[in-house]
Amino acid sequence: MGSVTAERTRGSVSMRVSRFFFRHPHGRLGVLLGGPLAWFLIVYFGSLFVLFLSAFWGVDVFTSEIVRNWGFQNFKTLWETDVYRTIALRTIGLAAAVTITDIVLAFPLAYYAARMATPRRRNMILVAVIVPLWANYLVRVFSWKLILSPTGLLNWTVETLGIGSLQIANSGWAIWLTFSYLWLPFTLLPIYGALERISPSFLEASGDLGARGWMTFRRVVFPLIIPGIVAGSIFSFSLTLGDYIVPSLVGNTKFIGNVIYDNVGVANNVPFAAAYALVPVAVMAIYLLIAKRLGAFEAL
């Protein structure tokens, strides 16, 4: 008996609570949205703001302490030092090269999965594409170090075939190859999505109007999958811009990420690193704006 009464009282309390929220939907919205919003405002945007501010600070030459002497000195150094300009351009160039490579590599498999495979095989391919994405990032980088080493699989294959030898360990080629490997699934999935959404009637119409395969691809398929391609490229481009691990493990060239890493770790010049970090932010801001124009956000 007692428990039933307790049940009722509790029920009525919770009833009252739910009535309150039913009448005040904004109260409930506040409870739900408050947490994530506060977290992002404080932890994430707060940090980005501090990063932005510290780009205008300096470092005491003798004590290596951060001094808050506001000014554009870091940006001046960035702009006037050839090395930093070269590194920034090199990074953007690499990101573009990796992105294009991934699009070219991804297209056939995406097309096969979306338009030629049986449903069962399509699922298998999708899982097969997603699994490497989750197979530990560092391990996948490491594996390329093993493959590309002078005594590794690649050179062994080339030598066994008698084509000579292929020494690309610690080179720009190694960096390009590793990045292309890492981000391929990211590029592939949105392209697959875009291809799958094309209605077969479009292709039939194109064929009925006399277009051959290539013409249909160029005039119908390609324009329709542009949002998917751009959506995929956001990842390969952005992730390449912000990565310092791959160049330091499989290559010996410096990219934006390495300069930032060295300045935070070894040189202890966080304000300069912060200023340099604004370069990829600016590049991505422009990239995202263009991507939005091209309808990539709907294809994400």
Partner 1 sequence: MESRTARFMIRFGSVVALLFLYIPLVIVVLYAFNNSIGQKWPISSFTTKYFGLAWRSPDLREALINSLMIASVATLLALLLGSAAAFAVHRYRFFGRNSVSLMLVLPITLPGIVTAIALNSSFNTFGISLGLMTIMIGHATFCIVVVYNNVIARLRRTPTSFVEASQDLGADGWQTFRYVTFPAIRTALVAGALLAFALSFDEIIVTNFVAGTQLTIPKFIFNNLRQPRNRPIVNVVAVVAMVVMIVPVIIAQRLAGGAQAVGATRGGDVATPAEPAGGP
Find the part of the chain contacting partner 1 (CB under 8 A) among 35-43, 70-78, 81-89, 163-171: 35-43
Q: Contact, 149 vs 167, CB < 8 A?
A: no
How far CA 96 is from CA of 87, 89, 93, 100, in Å, comes to: 14, 11, 5, 6
Of the residues 257, 269, 296, 299, which one makes contact with partner 1 according to CB under 8 A: 257
Angle 116-117-120 (CA atoms, 0-180°, nearest 5)? Answer: 160
> Minimum distance between the CB of residue 67 and partner 1, rounded to whole angstroms?
13
Of the residues 94, 260, 296, 299, which one makes contact with partner 1 according to CB under 8 A: 260
131 binds partner 1 (CB under 8 A): yes
How far CA 91 is from CA of 94, 168, 170, in Å, comes to: 5, 19, 16
Of 229, 253, 232, residue with least CA distance to 243: 253
Of the residues 97, 100, 224, 249, which one makes contact with partner 1 according to CB under 8 A: 249
Of the residues 1, 61, 139, 163, which one makes contact with partner 1 according to CB under 8 A: 139
Find the part of the chain contacting partner 1 (CB under 8 A) among 69-77, 81-89, 145-153, 167-175: 145-153
Ranges within 189-218 binding partner 1 (CB under 8 A)? 189, 193, 203-204, 207, 212-214, 216
153 binds partner 1 (CB under 8 A): yes
Ranges within 82-111 binding partner 1 (CB under 8 A)? 105-109, 111
Ranges within 49-88 binding partner 1 (CB under 8 A)? 50-51, 54, 66
DSSP string across 131-192: HHHTS-HHHHHHHHHHHHSTTSHHHHHHHHTTS-----TTSHHHHHHHHHHHHHHHHHHHHH
> In the beta sheet, which residues pair with residue 67?
58
Q: How many CB atoms lie within 10 A of CB 99?
A: 25
Of the residues 137, 167, 267, 295, which one makes contact with partner 1 according to CB under 8 A: 137
Copy the structure tokens of residue 48: 């980005």
295 binds partner 1 (CB under 8 A): no
